[in-house]
């Protein structure tokens, strides 16, 4: 299968040295009706299918490529419906240029988080974005598919967007077929802490979930860097701490240097709380200090079945 990458050359991520006050009221929101994408109820509830065609391209920003680093500890997740893996979501965006792939994470009854540069590929049509939570592969998506209904972009520089989804053909919401992820308040998130990035990289078989492990190397404002490896298609992947709470949303990296994410600091948290009424943040003061480095049961259960990165090299000629 020919696999290519999304590009978005104009979007820059600001590295902030202090907190920036953001007015959530200034967030840019696009819905299907804004663009005259009127459909019947039966069409709205039609469950999408994964596009397995030859013109499938992972999403990536040209100036912020996803990077394979010396720390290339990537493992396939086979039991994608277990624990914190379940809300991790395979994304397809259909456009005139082809079908683009990316990642996201469910955080509310009908909403998930991804990148601005992912939703930009919809060209203002939320229904062009399809989401498949817990996808196992291109033939197995145990929680079905969902169609975008509304897009809300973070009003600051951070590469972050919220997508609201229509119910499926069983009238289920995306956050009802999987348990939405818990987000960290990040009060105790620091440099050198162990993390994982979990998503759907484009250099692997289509719609297979992979986890990459590493540690935080820098946090500054809304920007977080780390030493683990990712590729195109990982855009929008959740970054988990050792308690399997989301601390950031992956956006890309700098060649031979680092990969990075939108760090969910107080400004980002305020934006999310104002736009996702049922979003759940943990309180770090109540967390168990005995939590270990990604040693939770759902991680350990998957390790026995994981496929090492080195064992699966797929020739995707257009992959970065």
Each residue's pLDDT tens digit, 65-78? 567 677 788 999 99
Residue 46, pLDDT above cutoff 70:
no
Q: How many CA atoms lie within 13 A of 286 on its CB side?
A: 5
Q: How many CA atoms lie within 13 A of 204 on its CB side?
A: 28
**Across 224-233, 248-257, 284-293, least confident range:** 284-293
- Tokens standing for 74? 């990537």
Total domain count, the chain: 1
When pLDDT is averaged across residues 119-137 and rounded to a whole number, the result is: 98
Candidates 51, 110, 120, 159; catalytic one: 159
Residue 198 or residue 2, greater confidence: 198
Q: Say which residues have a Cβ less than 8 Å from residue 218's Cβ, sequence separation at least 6.
A: 191, 224, 225, 258
Residue 296, pLDDT above cutoff 90:
no
- Spatial separation of the C-alpha atoms in residues 115 and 252, rounded to whole Å: 10
Q: Tell me if 132 is assigned to some domain.
A: yes
Q: Say which residues have a Cβ less than 8 Å from residue 290's Cβ, sequence separation at least 6.
A: none
DSSP labels, 127-183: GGEEEEET--BTTB-TT--EEEEEEEE-SSSS--EEEEE---TTS--HHHHSPPPPB
CA distances from 11 to 102, 119, 214, 233, 251 (A): 17, 12, 26, 17, 11
Q: Say which residues have a Cβ less than 8 Å from residue 205's Cβ, sequence separation at least 6.
A: 137, 138, 312, 314
144: Cα separation from own chain's centroid: 17
pLDDT recorded at residue 70: 74
Residue 65 or residue 289, greater confidence: 65
Residue 197 or residue 57, greater confidence: 197
8 Å CB contact between 279 and 183: yes
Q: Tell me if 8 is assigned to some domain.
A: no
Residue 289, pLDDT above cutoff 60:
no
- Tokens standing for 52? 């397995």
CA distances from 282 to 79, 188, 295 (A): 25, 11, 18
Q: Tell me if 319 is assigned to some domain.
A: no
Q: Tell me if 316 is assigned to some domain.
A: no
For the chain, first and last CA: distance in Å?
15
- Spatial separation of the C-alpha atoms in residues 237 and 173, rounded to whole Å: 20
Q: Tell me if 62 is assigned to some domain.
A: yes
CATH number, domain of 272, equals: 2.40.10.10
Residue 22, pLDDT above cutoff 80:
no
Residue 317, pLDDT above cutoff 50:
no
Residue 26 or residue 47, greater confidence: 47
- 235 is known as an active-site residue: yes
Which ranges constitute the DSSP H helices of the chain? 41-44, 116-119, 174-177, 266-275, 297-303
pLDDT recorded at residue 211: 98
Please provide the average confidence, as pLDDT, over all residues in the chain: 81
75, 85, 12, 56: which is closest to 260 by C-alpha? 12
The pLDDT tens digits for 154-180 are 998 999 999 999 999 999 999 999 999
Residue 109 or residue 287, greater confidence: 109
Q: Tell me if 47 is assigned to some domain.
A: yes
Candidates 117, 184, 185, 250; catalytic one: 117
The model's confidence at residue 50, banded by pLDDT at 50, 70 and 90, is confident
8 Å CB contact between 261 and 241: no
pLDDT recorded at residue 96: 86
When pLDDT is averaged across residues 290-304 and rounded to a whole number, the result is: 45
Structure-derived torsion over alpha carbons of residues 180, 95, 13, 279, reported in degrees to the nearest 10: -20
Write the DSSP symbol of residue 46: P
The model's confidence at residue 107, banded by pLDDT at 50, 70 and 90, is very high
- 278 is known as an active-site residue: no
8 Å CB contact between 155 and 142: no
State the Cα angle at 274 between 10 and 122, rounded to 5°. Answer: 35
When pLDDT is averaged across residues 279-291 and rounded to a whole number, the result is: 70
Candidates 235, 237, 267, 309; catalytic one: 235
Q: Tell me if 65 is assigned to some domain.
A: yes
pLDDT recorded at residue 64: 54
pLDDT recorded at residue 284: 64
Q: Say which residues have a Cβ less than 8 Å from residue 288's Cβ, sequence separation at least 6.
A: none
- 117 is known as an active-site residue: yes
Residue-range definition of the domain harbouring residue 280: 25-305
pLDDT recorded at residue 52: 74
Residue 286, pLDDT above cutoff 70:
no
Q: Tell me if 318 is assigned to some domain.
A: no
pLDDT recorded at residue 10: 32
Residue 301, pLDDT above cutoff 50:
no
């Amino acid at each position: 299968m020919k696999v290519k990458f999304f590009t978005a050359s104009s979007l820059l991520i600001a590295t902030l040295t202090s907190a920036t006050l953001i007015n959530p009221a200034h967030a840019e929101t696009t819905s299907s009706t804004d663009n005259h994408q009127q459909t019947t109820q039966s069409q709205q509830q039609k469950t999408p299918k994964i596009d397995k065609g030859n013109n499938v391209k992972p999403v990536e920003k040209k100036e912020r490529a996803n990077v394979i680093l010396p720390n290339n500890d990537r493992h396939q997740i086979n039991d994608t419906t277990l624990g914190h893996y379940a809300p991790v979501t395979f994304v397809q965006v259909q456009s005139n240029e082809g079908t683009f792939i990316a990642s996201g994470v469910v955080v509310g009854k009908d909403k998930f988080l991804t990148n601005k540069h992912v939703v930009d590929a919809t060209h203002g049509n939320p229904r062009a974005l399809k989401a498949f939570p817990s996808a196992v592969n291109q033939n197995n998506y145990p929680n079905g598919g969902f169609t975008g209904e509304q897009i809300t972009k973070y009003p600051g520089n951070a590469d972050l967007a919220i997508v609201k989804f229509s119910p499926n053909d069983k009238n289920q919401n995306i956050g009802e077929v999987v348990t939405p992820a818990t987000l960290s308040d990040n009060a105790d998130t620091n440099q050198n802490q162990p993390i994982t990035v979990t998503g759907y990289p484009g250099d692997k078989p289509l719609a297979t979930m992979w986890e990459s492990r590493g540690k935080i190397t820098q946090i500054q404002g809304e920007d977080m860097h780390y030493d683990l490896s990712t590729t195109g298609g990982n855009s929008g992947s959740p970054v988990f701490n050792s308690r399997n709470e989301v601390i950031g949303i992956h956006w890309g990296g700098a060649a031979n240097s680092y990969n990075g994410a939108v760090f969910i600091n107080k400004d980002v948290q305020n934006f999310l709380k104002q736009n996702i009424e049922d979003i759940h943040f943990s309180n770090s003061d109540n967390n168990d200090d005995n939590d270990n480095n990604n040693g939770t049961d759902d991680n350990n259960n998957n390790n026995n079945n994981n496929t090492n990165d080195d064992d699966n090299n797929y020739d995707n000629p257009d992959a970065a």
